Structure 1
Amino acid sequence: MRQAHHPEVGEFTLTGVMSALSDPIRVGVVRVLADGRERGWGDLQAPVAKSTLSHHLRVLRDAGLTRTRQEGTRCFVTLRRQELRVRFPGLLEAVLAAAEDEDVGHQVSVKDTAPPA
């Protein structure tokens, strides 16, 4: 995999971020990542094909919402919360609160990776 491009904070645009957040699956991914933990792509569960989920993750990355890191054959994603706060103060919190209130993106979750007891 070639190195993914991550826009600098000054390259974030309001229309780019809002466009990326216009899809419920992408909002769901942001909601999952809002806990601050890095997640493996394979740990994310959504009611779409893997290729479609990959597309959604790329849209989020290209808009500046997420950062992707490759480790061997695995890819990990994190929310760029601090960078978004710098560029658009309060926007992410408002989006997350509205998504919670309207239950947008509820269909995206994380696989339970805990070992069986």
Structure 2
Amino acid sequence: MRLLPEPTPEALTLASVLYAFGDPVRLELVRRASSEPGAPCAVEGLNVPKSTLTNHWRILREAGVVRMAADGRYRRTWLREDDLNGRFPGLLDAVLQLSDHERSYSAMP
């Protein structure tokens, strides 16, 4: 596997990370990356075009939220939990909790 370019932990900025968290599709991708480390970028159940999904993954990678590796024809993703928690303690946990809360709230009739 070949890792794709990503910012170093010291280069992570709050503005770019918050921007990456600022879209509902990207929040769902972050939640899935958290629960399925190393999963392929192809995501079931999201009603977005493949090109849009690719762009969302790129934004997350360039912000330093996820790590991606080329594995043959696939791209695999991991949430950069240690880097994010080291740079912005508590932020990732808060975002994941809010993401889960919003998902359960939106599922209510």
TM over 0.5: yes
- Residue 3 of structure 2 contacts residue 67 of structure 2 at CA under 8 Å; is this kept in 1? no
Q: Give the unaligned 5+ runs of structure 2.
A: none
| Alignment match, 2:49 | 49
Percent identity (aligned): 36
Q: Which residue identity is paired with 1:98?
A: L
CA distance in 2, matches of 1:93, 1:32: 14
Q: Give the unaligned 5+ runs of structure 1.
A: 107-117
String of CA shifts for 1:60-102, please: whole Å, max 9, x gaps. 0000000110112211111111111100010000011111112
The TM-score, its normalising length taken from structure 2, stands at: 0.87
CA distance in 1, matches of 2:41, 2:96: 21
Which piece of structure 1 moves more, 23-32 or 65-74? Answer: 65-74
CA distance in 2, matches of 1:4, 1:75: 9
| Greater helix fraction, Structure 1 or Structure 2 | 2
The TM-score, its normalising length taken from structure 1, stands at: 0.81
Return structure 1 stretches of 4+ with deviation > 6 angstroms.
Answer: none
